[in-house]
């Protein structure tokens, strides 16, 4: 596929039904119009890309605009939808579940909505998890709580078995809420469906607290995560300043990407060091972290250190690579490691008081804040519009602050990471005052 059409979305076939939504092309002209299949939004908004396209005489790379279509693929009254949540917890999952159910029921009149319990395990009958019926009344209040109403699990199941379950239950649309592994899983389900010639739409809604889904502006729950983490940093700063040479170490989530740690530090600018997976750093040496920390204590008599869980893994000798059920590498505990190394370094040099705080699981179980709640509803609604139009193997998301549809295969090619030469990381360095390089 060329760059020009790399973002084209697959379709189950011709749309033969009229949407039940009464928008401006149906009644009047005072409300939102249907989105045309020809509506596209530019991916790269830079002037350099625009000029290069003019020079080369090519069409800029575009994405499909998300939204309701006038012609839809499924017969609303006879359609069945299913929802599954997979992977780790994240703020906003229940908001998305609620949004999907409400949109399917009230926008399109879908009468049967199935909840798949405990992730992809729920699509494997051998696991013994019974499917549940979802109604507006059952989900109307779940947005007030963190976690997932449906339960979750890590790891995949046999794709053929999962598709058998979908077919046995006459599912027409599957909405999978999850991160990189979940999205790859639902794409594989979509591939198996295509091989069978079945007409089931599979849709991904990108969920990862680490904000490491490529191409999109951000994944839902991320903003809540650093919002919840910010007052913890404030309190950690109070702990640090309350003692002579006080040091607070706060470990936040961020397996491969340090967006939560960096964003929380920007939101609560009392942090002096941010250590992230994208940045290798040395402990020892004149420009190493420990010496730099010592200089900080001599000047200010306290320090606040925020470390992402995946940072500094290169510092562990004889490290054994172990993965979880989702295939993610399980990292060594960098927070405890730093506490021990700092304590060893300052022993016999000067007295220090170290406080170690790990609020990771509290952060990820929080309910969505107002901003994330709005985002979750938008993702849910646009996912439903796309599925009803017969689109498949896509994610509903936001790029350049506009809702779009992107093929799952494009967002799962690599993980999004902080650009150490980019403006965002430079902002973190300016806020903390830490050196550009440590070691």
Q: One of 44, 137, 172, 210 is an active-site residue; which one? A: 210
Report the C-alpha gap between 402 and 379 in whole angstroms.
11
Phi-psi region of 63 (alpha: psi -120 to 50; beta: other; left: phi over 0): beta
Question: Is the separation of the CB atoms in 101 and 113 below 8 Å?
Answer: yes
Q: HSE, CB side, 13 Å, CA atoms: give it for residue 391.
A: 29
* Distance from C-alpha of 9 to C-alpha of 17, rounded to nearest angstrom: 19
Return d(Cα 394, Cα 400) in angstroms, integer: 18
172 is catalytic: no
- Residue that the structure tokens 């809420």 belong to: 177
Pairwise CA distance, residues 60 & 232, whole Å = 44
Q: Give alpha helix (H) positions in 71-221.
A: 93-102, 136-139, 159-168, 180-196
Characterize the bridge pairing of strands 201-206 and 173-178.
parallel
Burial 260-286 (b: 16+ CB within 10 A, else e): bbbbbbbbbebbbbbbbbbbebbbeee
Instruction: Name beta bridge partners: 213.
Output: 415
In terms of phi and psi (left: phi > 0; alpha: psi -120 to 50; beta: otherwise), the region of 118 is left
Residues serving a catalytic function are 210
């Amino acid at each position: 596929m060329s760059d020009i059409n790399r973002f084209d979305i697959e379709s189950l076939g011709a749309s033969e039904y009229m949407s039940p939504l009464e928008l401006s092309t149906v009644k009047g002209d005072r409300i939102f119009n249907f989105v045309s299949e020809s509506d596209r939004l530019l991916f790269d908004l830079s002037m350099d890309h625009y000029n290069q396209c003019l020079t080369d005489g090519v069409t800029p790379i575009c994405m499909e605009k998300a939204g309701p279509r006038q012609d839809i693929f499924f017969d609303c009254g006879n359609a069945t939808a299913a929802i599954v949540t997979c992977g780790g917890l994240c703020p906003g999952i229940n908001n998305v579940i609620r949004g999907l159910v409400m949109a399917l029921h009230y926008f399109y009149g879908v009468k049967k909505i199935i909840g798949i319990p405990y992730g992809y395990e729920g699509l494997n009958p051998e696991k013994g998890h019974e499917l549940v019926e979802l109604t507006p009344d059952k989900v109307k209040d779940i947005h007030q709580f963190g976690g997932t109403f449906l339960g979750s699990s890590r790891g995949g199941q046999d794709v053929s078995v999962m598709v058998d379950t979908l077919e046995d239950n006459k599912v027409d649309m599957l909405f999978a809420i999850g991160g990189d592994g979940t999205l790859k899983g639902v794409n594989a389900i979509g591939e198996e469906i295509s091989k069978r010639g079945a007409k089931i739409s599979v849709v991904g809604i990108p969920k990862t607290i680490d904000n490491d889904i490529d191409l999109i502006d951000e994944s839902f729950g991320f903003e809540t995560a650093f919002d919840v983490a910010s007052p913890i940093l404030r309190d950690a700063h109070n702990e640090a300043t309350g003692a002579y040479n006080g040091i607070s170490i706060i470990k936040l989530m961020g397996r491969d990407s340090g967006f939560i740690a960096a964003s929380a530090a920007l939101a609560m600018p009392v942090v002096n060091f941010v250590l992230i997976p994208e940045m290798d750093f040395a402990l020892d040496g004149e420009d190493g972290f420990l010496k730099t920390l010592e200089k900080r204590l001599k000047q200010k008599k306290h320090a606040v250190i925020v470390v992402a869980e995946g940072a500094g893994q290169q510092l562990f000798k004889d490290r054994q690579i172990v993965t979880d059920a989702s295939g993610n590498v399980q990292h060594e505990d960098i927070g405890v490691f730093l506490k021990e190394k700092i304590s060893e370094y300052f022993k016999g040099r000067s007295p220090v008081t170290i406080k170690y705080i790990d609020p990771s699981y509290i952060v990820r179980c929080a309910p969505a804040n107002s901003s994330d709640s709005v985002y979750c509803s938008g993702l849910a609604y646009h996912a439903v519009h796309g599925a009803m139009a017969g689109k498949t193997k896509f994610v509903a998301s936001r790029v350049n602050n506009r809702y779009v549809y992107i093929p799952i295969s494009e967002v799962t090619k690599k993980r999004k990471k902080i650009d150490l030469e980019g403006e965002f990381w430079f902002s973190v360095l300016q806020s903390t005052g830490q050196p550009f390089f440590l070691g």
